[in-house]
Amino acid sequence: MVTVRDVAARAGVSPRTVSNVVNEHPHVSAETRRRVELAISETGYRPNLTARSLRQGRSGLIGLVVPEVDVPYFAELTRAFIDVLGEEYTLVVDQTDGRPERERDVVFHRGRAGLFDGLILNPLQLGADELARRGPGTPLVLIGEQVTSELFDHVVIDNVEAAREAVRHLTSQGRRRIAVVGGERESWTHTTMLRAQGYREALEEAGLPYRDGLDARTGALHRADGARAMAHLLSSGERPDAVFCLNDLVALGALRTLATAGVRVPDDVAVVGFDDVEDGRFSTPTLTTVAPDKAQIARLAVERLRLRMAGDTSPGATIVADHRLVVRESTAGPARAEQERRRRPPPS
């Protein structure tokens, strides 16, 4: 095992100087730093950074814990967090697959959570009762799903209102047979329940009945689920003139099925998604969607996390980030969508 003394001897400096280089102390001359780094390479010395983080009381790591890293919404949100954290912290991403034991692991500091200075968690399954059992520990901020808990800061968007706006956009176009697609009816994620609630409220506002045959929540929230649910809707007697999809992936899957079936979008069926992922800006047709302000979500969550890391122990706050409806070709057609694009200010 190579020690700091071996490196010091080889570089012709004191062990203290080696330690200064390893700990990125600013007052080391470039020449000394170079000599020490060379000696580190040559000896294969491995500075014990775990020990260092113990001494300094911080690791410089922020953990972002999301259900699925390969879902574009979470990938884009991850990018937003990296942009907000800048050079000060390294973001490491972990995923739970929405499994309650993995979420519990994060919340209760089992597993490896103790390595992080702060945690941002998007829970799918943990409820307020379980969260309430957590004592003090690594500062934790929640994002995404609405969990009613005063114990943690929580950054959300108003999913019910956002869904209502999306469906209102369809009713205002004279659409009367509006289907809802994505996720299960007995959903285990709170978000899809809230969005489905907004759908029902918007139907009610417009005096439209909720129709069981137009409720195609029969799967998960990936492209293949949207494609399948749309095929099912087309083959059923209850053919819709519009589809509200509970996220963009489902909408992109639905668009694919409609294209294969030769159904014209938006002429025969209008389609709305939710999340504003990049795919929907380049799909054919481009996708009308609800855009949560991802940069703002990241900024607000990191602001709260910094306060908590600095020792703030005030009660948890629920903070509502902005969203807006982005109208594109899948509801407006090519010409109208272009008008909308020119009229709207660019996203902040």
Residue ranges in contact with a copy of itself by CB under 8 A: 22, 24, 37, 40-54, 59-61, 63, 68-72, 75-76, 78-79, 82, 90-95, 108-115, 133-138, 223, 227, 252-253, 255-256, 259-260, 278-279, 281-284, 286, 334
* Residue 205 Cβ vs a copy of itself, minimum distance, rounded to whole Å: 32
* Residue 27 Cβ vs a copy of itself, minimum distance, rounded to whole Å: 17
Name the residue nearer to a copy of itself (CB basis): 154 or 228.
228
* Residue 127 Cβ vs a copy of itself, minimum distance, rounded to whole Å: 15
Name the residue nearer to a copy of itself (CB basis): 107 or 141.
107
Name the residue nearer to a copy of itself (CB basis): 135 or 209.
135
* Residue 63 Cβ vs a copy of itself, minimum distance, rounded to whole Å: 8
* Residue 228 Cβ vs a copy of itself, minimum distance, rounded to whole Å: 12
* Residue 206 Cβ vs a copy of itself, minimum distance, rounded to whole Å: 30
CB 143 within 8 A of CB 135: no
CB 178 within 8 A of CB 203: yes
Name the residue nearer to a copy of itself (CB basis): 52 or 324.
52
Name the residue nearer to a copy of itself (CB basis): 130 or 184.
130
Name the residue nearer to a copy of itself (CB basis): 117 or 153.
117
Name the residue nearer to a copy of itself (CB basis): 167 or 291.
291
* Residue 190 Cβ vs a copy of itself, minimum distance, rounded to whole Å: 23
